[in-house]
């Protein structure tokens, strides 16, 4: 039931080789094996967005990808975003765009994707882009504000 396979994956710039159960999903591997607990699990069926992270430059749901599928890829988790998310982190703090912080890593990842993709400071467009990420605490408004702040700041 728990066949394993060796994978080699570069997470936040560091290459790791590990034996993973073939049925294990990527986010469980990152959290439990790598100790990178920043990516969260909210539903494990691809709906809530808490596990959103980057694989080879594309956003993925860490719960919908198997760890074995990440073999040979570059993975970036919240812990590895560094300066790419610095302005967003400041804006999230200033706007109180987080409460419990559980959705926040996935929310930041989606917001980084929007901004790096050249998204405009258009509230409806931002809301649409973030619609794959649940937040049960905030009313989303402060998150939209924070993303706008960063875009406006960047274009100013």
Site string for ligand FES, 89-108 (x = CB under 6 A): ---------xxxxxxx----
CA distance 52 to 67: 14
Stretch 44-73 residues interacting with other proteins (CB under 8 A):
44-45, 47-48, 50
Count of residues interacting with other proteins (CB under 8 A): 59
CA distance 143 to 131: 12
Q: Which of 104, 112, 149, 151 binds other proteins (CB under 8 A)?
A: 104
Cα dihedral 48, 54, 58, 62 in deg (nearest 10): -40
Task: Check binding of 89 to other proteins (CB under 8 A).
Answer: yes
Sheet holding 14-21, edge to edge: 14-21, 4-11, 74-76, 52-55, 58-61
Those residues whose C-beta lies under 8 Å from the C-beta of residue 41, and which sit 6 or more positions away, are 27, 28, 31, 50, 51, 62, 63
Contacts to ligand FES from residues 56-85, by CB under 6 A? 61, 63
**Residue ranges binding other proteins (CB under 8 A):** 1-2, 21, 23-24, 31-32, 35-45, 47-48, 50, 77-79, 85, 89, 92-96, 98-105, 108, 123-124, 126-128, 130-131, 133-144
Per CB under 6 A, residues contacting ligand FES are 41-44, 46-51, 61, 63, 98-104, 135-138
């Amino acid at each position: 039931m728990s066949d394993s396979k060796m994978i080699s994956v570069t997470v936040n710039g560091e290459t790791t080789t590990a034996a993973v159960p073939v049925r294990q999903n990527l986010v469980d591997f990152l959290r439990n094996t790598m100790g990178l607990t920043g990516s969260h699990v909210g539903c494990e069926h691809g709906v809530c967005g808490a596990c959103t992270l980057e694989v080879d430059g594309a956003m993925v749901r860490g719960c919908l990808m198997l760890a074995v599928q990440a073999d040979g890829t570059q993975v970036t988790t919240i812990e590895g975003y560094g300066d790419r998310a610095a302005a967003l982190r400041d804006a999230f703090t200033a706007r109180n765009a987080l409460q419990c912080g559980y959705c926040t890593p996935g929310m930041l990842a989606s917001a980084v994707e929007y901004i790096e993709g050249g998204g405009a400071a258009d509230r409806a467009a931002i809301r649409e882009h973030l619609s794959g990420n649940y937040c049960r605490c905030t009313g989303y408004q402060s998150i939209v504000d924070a993303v706008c702040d960063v875009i406006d700041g960047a274009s100013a």
